[in-house]
Chain A
Amino acid sequence: GQQVMQIPQYQHVQEGEDFTTYCNSSTTLSNIQWYKQRPGGHPVFLIQLVKSGEVKKQKRLTFQFGEAKKNSSLHITATQTTDVGTYFCACRGGGSNYKLTFGKGTLLTVNP
């Protein structure tokens, strides 16, 4: 079955530093979604990437889909304390395997 790996598992940064989390799939993807889950909260949709090499930006967040559609990254510029939470990638397989598989997430903590 589809394997999804996210690294790092944890990341602690000083406020103002940049942060990047990476997501890798064992199979080629149809698309990939990113979610954020605040401590004690539920996952909240951030974005979906569909096209090979696609790059999307949301203010300080930059999302990238790999050329082979097997990996993705989320980069946060100049982190703020409001960025604290766990960032999950959710991978949708291609063809008949259309299930959305979540990674284990990267927990980001920010020291003010």
Chain B
Amino acid sequence: EAGVVQSPRYKIIEKKQPVAFWCNPISGHNTLYWYRQNLGQGPELLIRYENEEAVDDSQLPKDRFSAERLKGVDSTLKIQPAELGDSAVYLCASSWPWGVETQYFGPGTRLLVL
């Protein structure tokens, strides 16, 4: 079974530039999460999807961040414009929406904003 796929793995951009991250969850996982992990910290939830619906986006900085999951499978997280403080690892995770709800994390995208 393939795991959660994310791309790109690394991204370096200058501040004020846009950036986008892509995630393909494990096949059949209805629930998809985007997290941000700063150095030395735990993952912080940005947004959670149940199929196509964003059911929790309370932590998403909506002035510059946006996300979509149009067909209930792949998802894209965008930052526009990026700020220096956005440098972090952006993790995507997926899970079944019932039972133990184990979250399977992708390898993450390491973003550096200069």
Contacts and interface: CB of A to CB of B under 8 A. Distances in A.
Interface string A1-41: 00010000000000000000000000000000100000001
Contacts of A101: 45
B104 interface: yes
A102 B106 CA distance: 16
Interface residues of A, number: 17
Contacts of B2: none
A41 B110 CA distance: 11
Contacts of A45: 102-104
A100 B105 contact: no
Interface residues of B, number: 17
A45 B41 CA distance: 17
A49 to B, nearest CB: 11
Contact of A100 (B91, B103, B106): B103
B41 A42 contact: no
A63 interface: no
B108 A103 contact: no
Contacts of B91: 42-43
Contact of A99 (B41, B56, B104, B106): B56
Interface in B76-114: 91, 100-108
B24 to A, nearest CB: 15
Given A33-B102, A104-B40, 17 more contacts: A4-B42, A33-B103, A42-B91, A42-B105, A43-B43, A43-B103, A45-B103, A48-B100, A48-B101, A48-B102, A90-B42, A90-B103, A99-B56, A100-B45, A101-B45, A102-B42, A104-B42
Interface of A: 4, 33, 41-45, 48, 88, 90, 99-105
